[in-house]
Amino acid sequence: MAQLSDDCFAFGGPMLSVDEAVGIIAAKVTAVQDIESVALVAADGRILARDIAAPLALPPFTNSAVDGYAVHGSDLPRGTEKTLPVKGRVAAGRAAQAAKPGEAVRIFTGAPMPEGTDTVFMQEDVRLDARGNVVLPAGLKAGANVRPAGEDIPQGQVALKAGQRLRPQDIALAAAFGLTRLDVARRIRVAVFSTGDELASPGTPRAAAQLFDSNRFMLMAMLRRLGCEVSDLGILRDERDPLATALKRVAGEHDLILTTGGVSTGEEDHVKAGVESAGRLVLWRMAIKPGRPVAMGIISGTPFIGLPGNPVASFVTFVHVVRPIVLALSGAAPAPILPMPVRAAFAYKKKSGRREYVRVTLRRAADGALEAQKFPREGAGLLSSLVDTDGLVELPEPVTSVEPGDTVGFLGYANLM
The string of DSSP letters for 137-192 reads PS-PPTTTTEE-TTSSB-TT-EEE-TT-B--HHHHHHHHHTT--EEEEEPPPEEEE
Residue of 343, 332, 364, 311 whose CA lies nearest to 410? 343
| DSSP annotation of 27 | H
Residue of 282, 255, 275, 278 whose CA lies nearest to 20? 282
Using CB under 6 A as the binding rule, whether residue 215 contacts ligand AMP is answered as yes
Using CB under 6 A as the binding rule, whether residue 199 contacts ligand AMP is answered as yes
List the alpha helices (DSSP H) in 177-279: 215-225, 240-251, 270-278
Rounded-to-integer distance, Cα 121 and Cα 126, Å: 7
Using CB under 6 A as the binding rule, whether residue 280 contacts ligand AMP is answered as no
Q: Out of 163, 311, 324, 339, name the contact with ligand AMP by CB under 6 A.
A: 311
Rounded-to-integer distance, Cα 9 and Cα 306, Å: 13
Least CB distance from residue 201 to ligand AMP, whole Å?
10
Q: Which is nearer to Mg ion, 129 or 267 (CB)?
A: 267
By the 8 A CB rule, do 276 and 222 touch? no
Using CB under 5 A as the binding rule, whether residue 293 contacts Mg ion is answered as no
Least CB distance from residue 309 to Mg ion, whole Å?
5
Q: Which is nearer to ligand AMP, 159 or 191 (CB)?
A: 191
Q: Which stretch binds Mg ion (CB under 5 A): 18-26, 106-114, 173-181, 261-269?
A: 261-269
Q: Out of 308, 324, 339, 391, name the contact with ligand AMP by CB under 6 A.
A: 308
Cα 59 to Cα 53, 54, 122: the distances in Å are 15, 11, 20
Q: Which is nearer to ligand AMP, 164 or 260 (CB)?
A: 260
Rounded-to-integer distance, Cα 154 and Cα 164, Å: 20
Q: Which stretch binds ligand AMP (CB under 6 A): 62-70, 181-189, 191-199, 362-370?
A: 191-199
Least CB distance from residue 6 to ligand AMP, whole Å?
24
Instruction: Tell me the per-residue interface mask from 344 to 383 with ligand AMP, x by CB under 6 A, - otherwise.
Output: -------------------------------------x--
Least CB distance from residue 283 to ligand AMP, whole Å?
13
Residues 6+ apart with CB under 8 A from 237: 195, 197, 243
Using CB under 6 A as the binding rule, whether residue 260 contacts ligand AMP is answered as yes
The number of residues making up the chain comes to 417
Using CB under 5 A as the binding rule, whether residue 262 contacts Mg ion is answered as yes
Q: Out of 112, 196, 331, 391, name the contact with ligand AMP by CB under 6 A.
A: 196
| Residues making contact with Mg ion (CB under 5 A) | 196, 261-262, 309
| Residues making contact with ligand AMP (CB under 6 A) | 194, 196, 198-199, 213-216, 260-262, 264, 308-311, 381
